[in-house]
Amino acid sequence: GENVEQHPSTLSVQEGDSAVIKCTYSDSASNYFPWYKQELGKGPQLIIDIRSNVGEKKDQRIAVTLNKTAKHFSLHITETQPEDSAVYFCAASSSDKLIFGTGTRLQVFP
């Protein structure tokens, strides 16, 4: 079955710097890759997603890139702000479900 690995598990950056979180997947049939942000005491919220017919997608300060050949995808956050501090999860579709990575705790220091 599908396996999704996510790195790093923790990431600390200075406000204004960029943050990059990487995920790899194993199922070559996967074609949908969402990213979720989970703030303390809340459920995960979808922040951006990409489908396999696209290599990159941007939404203001966040972007996702997908390399189908290498089976990896990445989340890029530019000009980080303290409110970006949260746990981020990647996921990949596999037959009839999503398989999630183990999460990255991002801390943005003022």
Does 102 interact with other proteins (rule: CB under 8 A)? yes
Q: By rule CB under 8 A, what string of x and - marks binding of each residue 58-97 to other proteins?
A: -------------------------------x---xxxxx
The Cα–Cα gap between 40 and 87 comes to: 8
Q: Find the binder of other proteins among 25, 36, 73, 88 (CB under 8 A).
A: 36
Nearer to other proteins, 80 or 101 (CB): 101
Smallest separation (angstroms) from other proteins to the CB of 93: 4
Longest dimension (CA), the chain: 42
Residue 77 near residue 84 (C-beta atoms within 8 A): yes
Q: Which stretch binds other proteins (CB under 8 A): 14-22, 31-39, 54-62, 74-82?
A: 31-39
Residue 35 near residue 49 (C-beta atoms within 8 A): yes
15 to 19, 37, 42, 67, 74: CA distances (angstroms): 10, 18, 23, 28, 20
The Cα–Cα gap between 6 and 8 comes to: 6
Nearer to other proteins, 36 or 73 (CB): 36
Q: Which residues of the chain form contacts with other proteins (CB under 8 A)?
A: 6, 9, 31-32, 34, 36, 41-46, 49, 51, 89, 93-98, 100-103
